[in-house]
Amino acid sequence: KHKRVVNFSAGPSKLPDSVLQRAQEEMLNFRETGSSVMELSHRGKTFKSVISEAEKLTRQLLNVPDNFRILFMQGGGCGQFAAVPLNLAGSPGATVDYIVTGRWSESAAKEAEKYCQVRKVHAPKPHASDSSDSEDSEEEWWSELSENAAYVYMCDNETVDGVEFKCPPRTPPGVPLVADMSSNMMSRPIDFSKYGLVFAGAQKNLGPAGVTVVIVREDLMDGRALPFCPSVLSYHVTSRNDSLYNTPPTFSIYVTGLVMQWVRDSGGVARMQELSREKSSLLYNLIENSQGFYYCPVDKSCRSRMNIVFRLSGGEALEKRFAEEAAKQGLTNLEGHRSIGGLRASLYNAVTIADTRTLASFMRDFAKRVA
């Protein structure tokens, strides 16, 4: 019997044990078909019920209005970096606004530059500073968004930088807001009146890698796509074919459906939000109260509930030792993103309060031993 670690990876990340067990139980004989779900035709009755159940649960859990379509696509978050301009720009070279808050919104803007005139709008600095001279009122930078943009793009939670929006920015009238929610979808309710489109690669909060959930307002699928938009990335084509234009990642969609059932049975999205607040506060408070042993480089106003980015004032060698010793105790993947170093604990839905407390006591213990 294998002992499971406590996995704090930013993605692919921990899945609930009960979901993995259920997938295991159903592996060889799915719903009396005598086949694994992986061996079923994506056009057969059984798989069609799997995908429509996953869709219904997503709609139910996130309270998705009737005028939004839920699509299961491929290509991951990065696929959407291309799909968004290809489907929504209206005409090649159109002006689009990108709110840049970290690595992923920066990458999305770069991809969009292949198709559009990209204006980057920098939100008030997400980096912590002691000086309280920052007068950046939210109103001020929101007013930089232009009225003639085909859409405004944002990344709701920056997985690498540990930066999260508290609420969506207000966009100029008629300009749809597009949000990358790859690392925080299903961790709090979404007010769909504020968005035209939201998307998420599944491999953090929703399920295994391979499927990307796109929730798009119906009217945005009319007449905005660029003529060379590939069919597999087309929202219109995907929607018209009920996400079965070509062979979808059937196993990933099935497991994502199991995760949705688990969210529902665990109290739904509101409960996930409560838990995420509790888990993240636990770590942020510990960091704040560590007399500078640990510190968080992110401004308090925009700290992520999902990805807790932190550093050791003792330096990089000590950070390395921290991650190694934690791993020896079964607390894995606490290294920061390879591009910025430091440390990061990702607290997605499947990471429990108990898991978080285990990490907290390791952190307290480590500080005591080393300081």
Q: Residue 204 or 294: which CB sits closer to ligand PMP?
A: 204
Amino acid type, 182: S
Q: Report which of 141, 194, 196 is spatially closest to residue 168, judged by C-alpha positions.
A: 194
Smallest gap from Cβ 29 to ligand PMP, in A, equals 31
At 157, phi and psi to the nearest 5? -140, 115
Both tokens assigned to 143: 């007013």
Binding residues (CB under 6 A) for ligand PMP: these are 11, 76-78, 104, 155, 159, 180, 182-183, 201
Q: In what order do the strands lie in the sheet with 307-312?
A: 294-295, 307-312, 343-346
d(CA 8, CA 283): 13
Output the smallest distance, CB 155 to ligand PMP, in A: 5
> Is 16 or 76 the residue whose CB approaches ligand PMP more closely?
76
Q: Which is nearer to ligand PMP, 11 or 16 (CB)?
A: 11
Find out whether 93 and 198 touch, Cβ atoms under 8 Å: no
Judge whether 104 counts as a catalytic residue.
Answer: yes
Given the residues 156, 161, 180, 355, select the one marked as catalytic: 180
Give CA separation, 177 vs 156, 170, 258, 343, 348, in Å.
11, 9, 29, 31, 24
Tokens 């980015």 locate to 309
| 204 tagged catalytic | yes
Identify which of residues 11 and 208 has a Cβ nearer to ligand PMP in the complex: 11
Q: Closest approach of Cβ 77 to ligand PMP, in Å?
A: 3
The least CB distance from residue 112 to ligand PMP, in Å, is 13
- Catalytic-labelled residue, pool 104, 161, 279, 355: 104
Which of 14, 97, 156, 204 does the annotation list as catalytic?
A: 204
Residue 295: CB atoms within 10 A of its CB come to 15
Indicate the residue among 78 and 327 with the shorter CB distance to ligand PMP.
78
| Residue positions annotated with a catalytic role | 104, 180, 204
